[in-house]
Structure 1
Amino acid sequence: MTLQEPTLQQVITWAKEAGRIALDGFHQIHHIQMKSALDVVTEIDHACERALMDHIQRDFPTHAIITEETGEVKGDADHCWYIDPLDGTINYSHRLPVYATSIAYARNGKMQMGVVYDPSRDECFSAQRGKGAWLNGKPIHVSACESLQKSLLTTGLPSGNEEHLDRNLRAVRYFTQNTQGVRRLGSVAIAVCYAACGRTDGHWDLGSTPWDMAACALIVEEAGGMVTDLEGNPDYFKSPYDFVAASLGIH
């Protein structure tokens, strides 16, 4: 009998398997291909993605899948997976150990579970809608910070869109002058999960992607935080995928 929906433990197991592939290959000399003038993909991205897709297509063959490398795999749109097999490929290709596997499952257009696994630190962030968020099985919560001046934020700097870059650099300047600092980690999934567990107080991004944000956005929400577009609207999961994820006190 074909299963209709996954369990969270099932998704965690898959994410950790893909993460181990990335960790095992970390110190190898990689075959790097240019996806664009500034964006790269390695053979490890493809290997991690293939491992995740094999599990989904074996256990849930009718489900739709949207991935960073393969793109869209047609299926039942009421059951859709979002996969970033190696979020932080630029870091990874330079042997900077800040990268993660990100996988999320949505039913009827709503994220139901998300997992972000950082193999370098063996940290597994997970969430299930209505049930909470966890780091290695222990409940997590966003910070209690209520002052922007006391907050530590993260962001991304989009290199392929000059308008987004200019807008974000203005925001970086403002927040650098009005917070305790702004960091750029090079992995959206890890940065947002750090806000979910209170290591930082918030993250904003311009021109993200559905596979970058699907899992980590749910993790923040289930950890007691808020995710919206830049205007404060809760309908953030759509193009151009601009979003803010933060604790309630500073959102």
Structure 2
Amino acid sequence: MPRSANLNVMMKTARAAGRSLVKDFREVENLQVSSKGPGDFVSRADRRAEEIIHAALMEARPTYGFLGEEGTVVEGEDPTRRWIVDPLDGTTNFLHGMPHWAVSIALEHKGQIVAGVIYDAAKDELFFAEKGEGAWMNESRLRVSGRGRMIDSVFATGLPFGGRRELPAALQDLARLLPACAGVRRWGAAALDLAYVAAGRYDGYWERGLKPWDVAAGIIIVREAGGFVEPIDPEGDIFDDGTILCGNDPIFPAFSKVIRNG
């Protein structure tokens, strides 16, 4: 596929951050058995990855804004363009030595996501898309699944933890959805949930309590793969509300009805 200069920068940067994280990930298993545990180590790995991403993107595009999960915020000279970055989506998986986490980089232009990259460094799967150019994983074109029946479909979500206020709604969603589908998965990385919908591995995904950096790159990847992406409240906004609902064309009406009728 033709790739813009911006997308090439994003892909190169995601791979660089991924390489740094893979090196740190190899140490996590050893740290699991220490008395202190790997928590502080992983926090440093997360921050270091964001520093790598911030330095590379700002060197390439010094006038763009920057919003990072680890707290890096830059108001760019160009107010129309902003990077939205999660240097380590799936931190808890990383912390526990589970190889399901990713680097996520999106480019926003005039309030719309125009390019996105999600890099699963542990599996070397690079998901990416640019507006109007389709969605890809490494060298393969992505399309959402073609399943048309809820009972044949597998969905993904995130389950709130630590007493978060979204827990009752999530449990109610599950009570309505589980009897109507082939299964629900909770793998703990929103960016990869979206990438997997784009790849047809999941038929749909929904979640509440999200931040822009959790979903920004995944939104355009799903849309460019032919999927629908909306907030749970059809009158709302994904970034403002922190909710998302996505799926393929045949499934989306029935799926969205189940989730929205709570």
| 218-227 or 151-160: bigger deviation | 151-160
Counterpart of 1:103, as a letter, is I
Contact 1:143/1:247 (8 A) holds in 2:
yes
Give the 4+ runs in structure 1 shifted more than 6 A. none
Residue 182 (str. 1) matches residue 189 (str. 2): no
Q: Measure how far apart 1:6 and its partner are.
A: 4.3
Contact 1:141/1:223 (8 A) holds in 2:
yes
Contact 2:13/2:57 (8 A) holds in 1:
no
Partner of 1:16: 15
RMSD: 1.7
Matches within 5 A, 1:55-74: 55-74=56-75
| 163-172 or 95-104: bigger deviation | 163-172
Distance 2:237 2:245 in 1: 9
Distance 2:110 2:182 in 1: 40
Partner of 2:222: 220
Q: Measure how far apart 1:230 and its partner are.
A: 1.0
Q: Measure how far apart 1:171 and its partner are.
A: 0.5
SS of the residue corresponding to residue 163 of structure 1 reads coil
Residue 32 (str. 1) matches residue 39 (str. 2): yes
Change (3 A) 1:227 1:85: same
Distance 2:123 2:86 in 1: 18
Q: Measure how far apart 1:231 and its partner are.
A: 3.1
Residue 241 (str. 1) matches residue 242 (str. 2): yes
Partner of 2:260: none
Q: Measure how far apart 1:98 and its partner are.
A: 0.6
**Any idea what the Cα deviations from partners look like across 1:90-131, whole Å, max 9, x if unmatched?**
000110111000000011111111000001110000000011
SS of the residue corresponding to residue 56 of structure 1 reads helix
Counterpart among 213, 232, 237 of residue 230 in structure 1: 232
Matches within 5 A, 1:73-222: 73-75=74-76, 76-159=78-161, 162-222=164-224
Is there any run of 5+ residues in structure 2 with no aligned partner, and where?
Answer: 32-36, 253-262
Q: Measure how far apart 1:163 and its partner are.
A: 3.0
Contact 1:31/1:43 (8 A) holds in 2:
no
Contact 2:104/2:191 (8 A) holds in 1:
yes
Partner of 1:37: none
Distance 2:233 2:38 in 1: 41
Is there any run of 5+ residues in structure 1 with no aligned partner, and where?
Answer: 34-39
Q: Measure how far apart 1:237 and its partner are.
A: 3.0
Distance 2:74 2:38 in 1: 25
Counterpart of 1:14, as a letter, is T
Distance 2:71 2:174 in 1: 33
Contact 1:227/1:236 (8 A) holds in 2:
no
| 236-245 or 118-127: bigger deviation | 236-245
SS of the residue corresponding to residue 25 of structure 1 reads helix
More strand by share: 1
Scaled by the length of structure 1, what TM-score is found? 0.90
SS of the residue corresponding to residue 48 of structure 2 reads helix
SS of the residue corresponding to residue 248 of structure 1 reads coil
Q: Measure how far apart 1:72 and its partner are.
A: 2.1
Partner of 1:54: 55
Distance 1:168 1:135 in 2: 30
Partner of 1:42: 43
Distance 2:91 2:42 in 1: 7
Counterpart of 1:65, as a letter, is F
Contact 1:19/1:117 (8 A) holds in 2:
yes
Counterpart of 1:9, as a letter, is N
* Aligned positions, number: 240
